[in-house]
Amino acid sequence: MKTVVDTSVWSAYLRRANPPKSLYRVVEPLVRRNQVHLLGIIRQELLSGLRHPEQFVRLSRALSGFPDELATSDDHSLAAKFYNLCRASGVQGSSIDFLICAIAERLRAPVLTLDPDFLAYARYLPVRVLLPDTE
């Protein structure tokens, strides 16, 4: 089963000088077995805000083997619906997070994330969340 790997995981895995070893134990098998869905919006988030052009090139190369899973019009509509459902229940989130949830729902894939906000979304949305141990 493929997994949507969230920006928070990729960032810790690829951008930190010393990522947690436990994160390698989760991400490496997914990568080796080609079980990663890389969303286009996540690629954009990862490559945004880098201070040095060399970082951009290095990350671009690291991600080059993953085709982008692009959002459809239906994904955007579902993301808006998810946003409204959560907001009505008092749960705030970003438009990007809800788009990630919508695409993951379409792909029937869990979201591997370090962002605890996804646990709040999962209380109201049909999103499966995997939180890796980062000890």
Per-residue model confidence (pLDDT) at position 52: 94
Per-residue model confidence (pLDDT) at position 62: 95
pLDDT digits (tens, 9 = 90+) for 4-34: 999 999 999 998 888 888 898 999 999 999 9
Mean pLDDT, residues 99-110: 98
Q: Of 63-72, 90-99, 125-134, where does mean pLDDT reach its minimum?
A: 125-134
Confidence check: pLDDT of 135 > 90: no
Domains with residue ranges and CATH for the chain: 3-70+107-130 (3.40.50.1010)
Per-residue model confidence (pLDDT) at position 69: 98
Per-residue model confidence (pLDDT) at position 15: 85
pLDDT digits (tens, 9 = 90+) for 42-54: 999 999 999 999 9
Residue 44's identity, in one-letter code, is Q
Note the residue count of the chain.
Answer: 135
The mean pLDDT value of the chain amounts to 95
